[in-house]
Amino acid sequence: MLRWSGDGVIEGHPGAVTQPTSRRQLALFNSMLDDYTDELKNLRTDRNPARWPAVTRYRAPHKPFLLLTVFDLVAQGILQTSFVEFNSQLVDGFDHYWLKIMGTSRLGDPVLPFYHLGTSRFWHLVPIPGREDALSAVGQVRSTSKLRELVLGARLDDEFFKLLTVPESREALRTVLFEAYFAPRVRPDLADLAQIAVEASQYATELHRRVRQRFELRETPAVEEQYRVESRSTAFRRVVVAAYDHTCAMCGVRLRTPEGRTAVAAAHIVPWTDSHNDDPRNGIALCGLHHWALDQGLVGVAPEYRIAISRVVPTDPGAEPLWSLERRTIHHPADLNLRPAHEALAWHLKHVFRG
Ligand SMILES: [Zn+2]
């Protein structure tokens, strides 16, 4: 259990609270922490050895994953109030935990825990004004569209939110979740994910800053020592996909699931192995097909942002999603400063594109 010793202000978070200094404050703080420790230990989750693996102690991991994601959003300074929205950042974090611990089998549904955490004392569903009765009458919310129809978001207890803004108590509560719901051997992986989330946020800020400088085709590899691969790729994807508003720069496909999962990914124009460059101007948002075609050198981007199609692409109907794009202009990011750099596109035309 956390016991405060020193005094002063906890730095580093916009919503940070003053560390308790008087004995009375300290006692209050620790009793809050005890209360929420009990709450977190006693989440109602499905227990079933036939359905859930040993690593999640034979219990459904949805609620712990969602809460860990909320902790991470607070740690990143993204969640600055006690109001939690059901948005793509939340789903993204949930998916990261799911993939790491549950493997690549079907992704879990984050809607269910968002709704069912409402039975916990600290998680208060906020109905859309006018839908209060509909929300209390509904027995079960199973789909994102139903959730969005009825629920504005969830409000955390103010005390609980305060505990999350103080790194020491947040980490103490995180440990409670680790110990209650996960086998010891996956706890380091979970801790890693939390760190990656914070690192990715820092790196995304750095990438936005980099755009204000002159574009360099090759970056110094020092960044590799500072950030892990997952942090880098998460940040690169987040910045590039947002720049293009989830639109494939080649074909214009813009498709998201109701939860916010997107059809496009961020491609490096000059591959990372050649450039060590995550500058957003070395990136382009593409759907799966056009990402593959870019990497294979079947498509490229010529001067004036015109799409070039390789001669090796056949002109039969099966290849239409490629040849039909010839000489069209790519879809630009709304912020033109984030457009692909000419140097990067020229490098790709010379070294990867099959003319
Ligand atoms: Zn596409």
Strand order in the sheet with 151-156: 83-84, 151-156, 123-127
- Residue 157: pLDDT above 90? yes
What is the whole-number distance in angstroms between the Cα of residue 87 and the centre of ligand 1? 24
In this prediction, residues 123-140 reach a mean pLDDT of 91
What is the whole-number distance in angstroms between the Cα of residue 322 and the centre of ligand 1? 9
Instruction: Count CA within 13 A, CB hemisphere, residue 39.
Output: 21
What is the whole-number distance in angstroms between the Cα of residue 132 and the centre of ligand 1? 41
More confident residue, 7 or 116: 116
Nearest to 250 by CA among 222, 288, 206: 288
What is the whole-number distance in angstroms between the Cα of residue 242 and the centre of ligand 1? 16
What is the whole-number distance in angstroms between the Cα of residue 319 and the centre of ligand 1? 13
What is the whole-number distance in angstroms between the Cα of residue 253 and the centre of ligand 1? 6
What is the whole-number distance in angstroms between the Cα of residue 289 and the centre of ligand 1? 6
Provide the token pair at 12. Answer: 């580093």
State the burial class of residue 35 (Cβ atoms within 10 Å of its Cβ: 0-12, 13-18, 19+).
middle
What is the whole-number distance in angstroms between the Cα of residue 323 and the centre of ligand 1? 12
State the burial class of residue 237 (Cβ atoms within 10 Å of its Cβ: 0-12, 13-18, 19+).
buried
What is the whole-number distance in angstroms between the Cα of residue 246 and the centre of ligand 1? 11
What is the whole-number distance in angstroms between the Cα of residue 261 and the centre of ligand 1? 16
CB 174 within 8 A of CB 194: yes
What is the whole-number distance in angstroms between the Cα of residue 290 and the centre of ligand 1? 5
- Residue 107: pLDDT above 90? no
Q: Check the CA dihedral 195-201-204-208 and report its sign.
A: negative
- Residue 5: pLDDT above 70? no
Nearest to 76 by CA among 179, 205, 240: 205
What is the whole-number distance in angstroms between the Cα of residue 53 and the centre of ligand 1? 37
- Residue 3: pLDDT above 50? no
What is the whole-number distance in angstroms between the Cα of residue 125 and the centre of ligand 1? 38
CB 153 within 8 A of CB 129: no
Provide the token pair at 184. Answer: 């010891």
- Residue 272: pLDDT above 80? yes
What is the whole-number distance in angstroms between the Cα of residue 286 and the centre of ligand 1? 5
Report the DSSP beta bridge partners of residue 309: 299
What is the whole-number distance in angstroms between the Cα of residue 291 and the centre of ligand 1? 7
- Residue 6: pLDDT above 50? no
* Residues 2-14 as b or e (16 or more Cβ within 10 Å = b): bebeeeeeeeebe
| Band (246; pLDDT cuts 50, 70, 90) | very high
What are the DSSP E strand ranges found in the chain?
83-84, 123-127, 151-156, 264-268, 283-287, 299-302, 306-309
Nearest to 191 by CA among 101, 103, 85: 101
What is the whole-number distance in angstroms between the Cα of residue 74 and the centre of ligand 1? 34
- Residue 301: pLDDT above 70? yes
What is the whole-number distance in angstroms between the Cα of residue 301 and the centre of ligand 1? 13
DSSP secondary structure code for residue 329 in this structure:
B
- Residue 185: pLDDT above 90? yes
Q: What is the pLDDT of residues 316-334, one digit of tens each?
A: 999 999 999 999 999 999 9
Report the DSSP beta bridge partners of residue 300: 308
What is the whole-number distance in angstroms between the Cα of residue 254 and the centre of ligand 1? 9
Geometric angle at alpha carbon 254, from 251 and 260, rounded to 5°: 155
What is the whole-number distance in angstroms between the Cα of residue 287 and the centre of ligand 1? 4
Provide the token pair at 76. Answer: 């990143």
Q: What is the pLDDT of residue 296?
A: 97
DSSP secondary structure code for residue 6 in this structure:
S
Give ion ligand 1 contacts, CB < 5 A. Answer: 248, 250-251, 253, 287, 290
What is the whole-number distance in angstroms between the Cα of residue 326 and the centre of ligand 1? 13
State the burial class of residue 168 (Cβ atoms within 10 Å of its Cβ: 0-12, 13-18, 19+).
middle
Q: How many whole angstroms separate alpha carbon 47 and alpha carbon 59?
A: 4
- Residue 339: pLDDT above 60? yes
Provide the token pair at 41. Answer: 């230990």
What is the whole-number distance in angstroms between the Cα of residue 288 and the centre of ligand 1? 7
What is the whole-number distance in angstroms between the Cα of residue 235 and the centre of ligand 1? 21
What is the whole-number distance in angstroms between the Cα of residue 256 and the centre of ligand 1? 14
- Residue 90: pLDDT above 70? yes
pTM across the whole model: 0.85
Residue 62 Ramachandran class (φ > 0 left, ψ -120 to 50 alpha, else beta): alpha
Q: What is the pLDDT of residues 64-76, one digit of tens each?
A: 999 999 999 999 9
What is the whole-number distance in angstroms between the Cα of residue 100 and the centre of ligand 1? 28
